[in-house]
Amino acid sequence: MLRRGLPSRLARGARLLSTTRVAAAGAAVRAAVILQRDPIVLQQSKGFEAAADGYFGWLEYMSAEQFPREFFFKKGSSAEKKWLELEDARAAEWYFDPASKPQDKAAPGGSADAEPGKEAESGGERLIAVQPRETAADAAGDVRSLERRLDRTLYLVVKDEAGQWAFPHGEVQGEELLHEAARRALKEACGGQMSVWTVGRGPVGHCKAGGRTTFFVKGHILAGQARPVQPLASDFKWIAREEMESVLPAEYWAAVKSVLSTV
C-alpha cells in the first residue's frame, strides 16, 4: 500500500511546489493551442521532381512483366480490342504526364469535353473526371474556410481582446496543467463545436512577451469549425505558415515559426 501510494504523493507534491513557485514569482503564465488542419490532398510535384516522377513511373511500367492477355481474352474479341486500346494509352509517355497528352485524343472510354464532376458512361464503365484543386473558398479568398488551400497545413489564429492576432490562448488557472488550460482556453475562445486532439501533454515551444510567458500545445482539428466567442476572440482565420509572418506580431512569430510545418 505504501509503495503504491508513494508515487502519487510525490506527484502531488511536485505539482504543489510548481504552482507555488509561479505564484510567488508573480509571472503570468498562459497556455495556447497551435491548432492545425492537415493537408487534404498531396502537393503537386514541380520542375525536376515532376519530371523525375513521370520518368521513373514510365520506366517501371515499361519494365514490368508482360500481361498474358491470351489467357484472359479471346483472340479478336471486343474485350481484347478494348484492352489493347487502353494499353496503347498507358504505354504512351504522356500517360504519366497529363500536361503533354495530345489534345485531340480523349481518355479511353470517356469524352475530352467531360465537365468536372460529371460521370461518363461508356460500355458499362463509369469514369469520374478529376476535380480541380482550387476550391470555391480559394477563388473567393475566404480565409475562414477549412476548404481553402487543400494541399497546405492551415493554422487557426484569432483576434484576441487586445486586437492582436494570436493562437487561441488563456491564463493557466489554479492547479491546471498546461494541456488542460490550453484545451479550456480554446473552447472558451472558439466555442465547443470543434472536435480536437492535442498532441501529448508537454508544450512544443514558448514565447516571452509583455511580462507573460505563453506555452504552446500542439493540436489537430478532426471535425467542426471555430465559432469565436467575444470578447475573448472577435475574429478568426485559417492560414498557412507563409501567411502568418504578416499577421502575427514580430516577437510572437519569431517564437513559433520553428514549430510550424513547411508543407
Q: Which residue has the higher pLDDT, 97 or 28?
A: 28
- For residue 175, is it within any domain? yes
pLDDT at 53: 84
Q: Are residues 204 and 248 in the same domain?
A: yes
| Residue 65 domain boundaries | 47-128
Looking at residue 20, its pLDDT comes to 35
pLDDT at 91: 66
Whether the predicted pLDDT of 145 surpasses 80: yes
Q: Are residues 198 and 244 in the same domain?
A: yes
The predicted pLDDT at position 100 comes to 55
pLDDT at residue 239 tops 80: yes
Are 37 and 158 found together in one domain?
yes
- Rounded Cα distance between 142 and 144, Å, is 6
In terms of domains, do 110 and 147 share one?
no
Which has the closest alpha carbon to 170: 235, 215, 202? 215
Give yes or no: residues 144 and 170 share one domain.
yes
Report pLDDT digits (tens) over 90-144: 666 555 555 555 554 444 444 444 455 444 455 556 667 778 889 999 999 999 9
Please check whether residue 7 lies inside any domain of the structure. Answer: no
Q: Are 246 and 181 members of one domain?
A: yes
Report the DSSP pairing between strands 28-37 and 169-171: antiparallel
39-96 pLDDT tens trace? 999 888 888 998 888 888 878 877 878 788 888 888 889 998 898 888 777 666 555 5
The tally of domains found in the chain comes to 2
Residue 123: per-residue pLDDT: 53
The last residue of one of the domains, among 67, 97, 128, is 128
- Tell me the per-residue pLDDT of 202-228, one tens digit each, with 9 for 90 and over: 999 999 987 889 999 999 999 999 999
Q: Are residues 151 and 114 located together in one domain of the fold?
A: no
Contacts for 87 with CB less than 8 Å, ≥ 6 apart: 67
141 and 250 share one domain? yes
First-to-last CA distance in the chain? 51
- Predicted confidence (pLDDT) per residue in 154-196, tens digit: 999 999 999 999 999 999 998 899 999 999 999 999 999 999 9
Q: Examine the fold and report which residue of 95, 128, 161 is the final residue of a domain before the chain moves on.
A: 128
| Cα–Cα distances in angstroms (integers) from residue 19 to residues 8, 205, 206, in the given order | 17, 20, 18
Q: How far apart are CA 104 and CA 89, in angstroms?
A: 13
What is the pTM for the complete model shown?
0.69
- The residue that leads in pLDDT, 182 or 16, is 182
